[in-house]
Chains A and B, each alone.
Chain A
Amino acid sequence: MSTHVIVCDYDEALISRLERRRLVVRVDDPSRLNDAARFAQERNALHALWLRVDAPLSGLPFTMLEALHAVPLYLDVTAVGNFRTWRDQVDRLRRLNVLVMVPEDAPVSYRDLRILSSLLIPCGIRFGSPCPDWEALTDLLYYAAYGKVLHAPIQPFHFVLSGYERHQRTDFSGITFDDPSRYLHIDSRGCIALTRKELEQGAFIESDLEKLDAVGDLPAYQSRLESWRDFFLKQDGCAYCPGWRICLGAFAGTPGNRPGCQKFFAEFLEAAEYHLDLRTEATRTILRPWDACPA
C-alpha cells in the first residue's frame, strides 16, 4: 500500500473508499469539523483536519474546537483578528494540537505570527504571492531562529531549522501538503493530483482511484520527484543561488524577485546551519569522568 498521506475534502463517499489510509481531511465549514473527524477516524488514521475558512481565527467557534483536542488541527485562516477578541482562547488553543496558518500576502500576518508564536501557539505562513515581502520575512526569520525566549514554532522556518541536513535537499512544501513524496490529493471523483493547486486546476496524474498504490511507479510521478534538476538546465536562475538547497526554487520565475529572494534564503541557510550546530551540540556525548567513579 502506498505510504502517502491522502489529502481530500470531507466527502463521506470518498473517504469510505480510502479505508485504512492516513488522511488529511479538508473542511470549509467549522461546524462540520467534529463530524469529519469522527467519520475519518472510524476506518482511517487521521493525519490532520484541515479547516480552510475565509475568516480570522477570532471568528472560529472555539468551544467546538475543544472537542478535537486529540486531533491535529490545521487552521487555515485569513488573519488572527483583533487580539482582545480571542485572548480568552489562548489557553484553549495551547491545549489543542493546532497549527494556525495565515497568508503571507496580508501585511498583518507578520504581526499575527509573532503574536501567536510568542504565546506558544504553533503557526505558519501560507505563501501565495510569488514575490513575498522579503524584508518582513527576514525579520520574522530572525525572530523564529534567534529569539531568546521560548516561543512556538513558526512554519516553514521550524521545519527547515529543525530538519536541515547539510547534504540533502530540504523541501518545506509539505507544510502546505504540497510535497508529492509525502502527500497525494484526491478529489470527490477519485482523481489524483500531486498538489492542491493541481487538484483545483484539474491537472491529475491519475484518474482512477483504484490505481492509487501504483502512482509511485508512474513516470510523471518519478519525473516530478526529480523535477528539482530542471533548475540546473537553466543558464541563470535558482540553481546558482546559495539558498537553493532549502528553497528548491519555490519562488522561481518572478521578475525582480531574485535579489530579495536570494538574500533571504542565504540568511535562512545560515540560520539552518546555526540550528544544525545546536542540534549536533545537544546530541554530542559529553565526557563526564565523575559518572564512572564508584560512589
Chain B
Amino acid sequence: MANILLTQRCVRSCPYCFAKEHMSRSALEATLSWEDLIYLADLIQISGEHRVSLLGGEPTIHPEFVNYVAYLLERKIGITVFTSGIVPPRTLEDMTSAFRQIPEQRLSFVCNLNDPHLSPPTEFERIGPFLEEFGPRTVPGFNIYRPDFSLDFLFDYINRYGMVHQIRMGLAHPIPGAKNAFVSIEDIRTAMDRLVSYAPSFRRFRVVPSLDCGFPLCAFTDEQLGMLYRIVGDPIRFGCSPAFDIGPDMSVWCCFPLSTYHKKSVFEFNSIGEIVTFYREKLRGLRIEAGGLYEDCDECTYREEGKCAGGCAAHLLSRFRNEERTRMEEIYK
C-alpha cells in the first residue's frame, strides 16, 4: 500500500521522528498538488490497488486535506490517515461534516500518540477534539524509542474515546545521517521485555498489539512469543519490506528510515508493483552485505525460512555508512 505525504510540515517535534532526515533535506512548504494527487490515484488504480495511506508531516494541515480524502473516496480508494490528532479546528469541523457518514472500512485513522509525561502539556488537549469525533475509527499508534516506555495512557485513551482496540507498535530505528532517538540494538531485548510486561493489560482491556516492521524475532523469548500469540491470535510477522513513501514533490523512497537510499521519482515507474519490486531488490542488496542486526542473523534459520527479516535495514545502512567504504557501490546511492 502506498504512503502518500500530503505535506512535510508537522505540528509536533517527536524525538524519534523517522521523517527527520527526509524533512531536513526537503522543502517544508512543498505540498501535494491536485494534479499529482490525481496522477497517484490513477497509478493506484492501474496497479489494481484499492487503498492508500495519507501521511505528513501532519496531513490534516494540508489546505485541501478534506477535499483530497473526499476525492480519493470518490475514486473508490480506501484511506488510512496517519495523524498526530492535532487537527486545525476548521479542518476538524469540515472533516466531521464530510466524513461522518463514510464507513470505517473506507476511511480510518492511525493516531500516533506520545507519552503525556514526555510531551508538551497542551498536546493532549489539542488531540482530544479529534479523538472525540473520530476515536471509534482510529487506531492508536505508539513508537518505542527508549526501553523504559509506558503504555498505560494508551489503554486510558482507548477507553475514553472508544478507539479501536488495537495498538500499532512501532520500533524507532536510526535514520542514517540524522540524530533521532531510537532503541539501540543492545536495548531491543530490554524494550521487548517491557512490551510483553503489558500482556496483562492487553488482556484485561482486550486490546491487540500489532507490531510494525523491524522487530527482530529473537528479541522475544519463546515464552513471550507464546503470550503474544494468546493476545494477538494470528501469527506475528517480523518483517522488513518496502512500505514506500511518496513525497509531495512526487519523489519516492523505500521507507522513512531509508529515505536517503535510492530515492527516485514516481514518474519513473508505471505501477505500484514496479516500485515495490524496485525497493525489494534494493533491500535485498543490503541484506546481501549483512543478514540482520546481529552477527547470528547470517546463519539464522528463521531468517532463511522468512520468519524474520533480521530487524530494520536502517540499522544496517547506518552501520555501513559509518564504516570504511568497502561495500557494493549500490549501498552508497
Let me know if chains A and B touch directly in the complex, using CB atoms closer than 8 Å.
Answer: yes
A residues at B contact (CB < 8 Å) = 82-84, 87, 90, 110-111, 114-115, 118-119, 139, 143, 147-149
Residue from A87, A90, A118 in contact with B38 in the complex, judged by beta carbons closer than 8 Å:
A118
Q: Which residue of A lies closest to B33 (CB)?
A: A111
B42 contacts A147, C-beta separation under 8 Å: yes
Q: Please give the distance in Å from A251's CB to the nearest CB on chain B.
A: 23
Segment at the A interface, from B70-78, B206-214, B253-261: B70-78
B38 contacts A83, C-beta separation under 8 Å: no
Residue from A84, A90, A115 in contact with B66 in the complex, judged by beta carbons closer than 8 Å:
A84
Closest 8 A/B residue pairs (Cβ): A149-B42, A83-B67, A111-B34, A114-B38, A87-B70, A84-B70, A148-B46, A84-B98
Question: B residues within 8 A CB of A90?
Answer: 74
A149 contacts B67, C-beta separation under 8 Å: no
Known contacts A87-B74, A114-B35: A82-B67 contact under CB 8 Å: yes
Known contacts A84-B94, A148-B42: A110-B35 contact under CB 8 Å: yes
A182–B158 CA distance with the chains assembled, in angstroms: 67
Q: How many residues of B are counted as interface, with CB atoms below 8 angstroms from the partner's CB atoms?
A: 16
A148–B272 CA distance with the chains assembled, in angstroms: 14
Helix, strand, loop or mixed for chain B's interface? Answer: helix
Does B190 have its Cβ within 8 Å of any Cβ on chain A?
no
B70 contacts A149, C-beta separation under 8 Å: no
B residues at A contact (CB < 8 Å) = 33-35, 38, 41-42, 45-46, 66-67, 70-71, 74-75, 94, 98
Question: A residues within 8 A CB of B67?
Answer: 82-84
Q: Please give the distance in Å from A147's CB to the nearest CB on chain B.
A: 6
A115 contacts B38, C-beta separation under 8 Å: yes
A111–B33 CA distance with the chains assembled, in angstroms: 9
A87–B69 CA distance with the chains assembled, in angstroms: 11
Residue from A110, A115, A143 in contact with B71 in the complex, judged by beta carbons closer than 8 Å:
A115
Q: Which residue of B lies closest to A119 (CB)?
A: B74
Question: A residues within 8 A CB of B98?
Answer: 84, 87
Q: Which residue of B lies closest to A114 (CB)?
A: B38
B75 contacts A118, C-beta separation under 8 Å: yes
Q: Which residue of A lies closest to B66 (CB)?
A: A84
Question: B residues within 8 A CB of A118?
Answer: 38, 41-42, 75
Central interface residue in B35, B41, B75, B98, by most chain A CB within 10 Å: B35
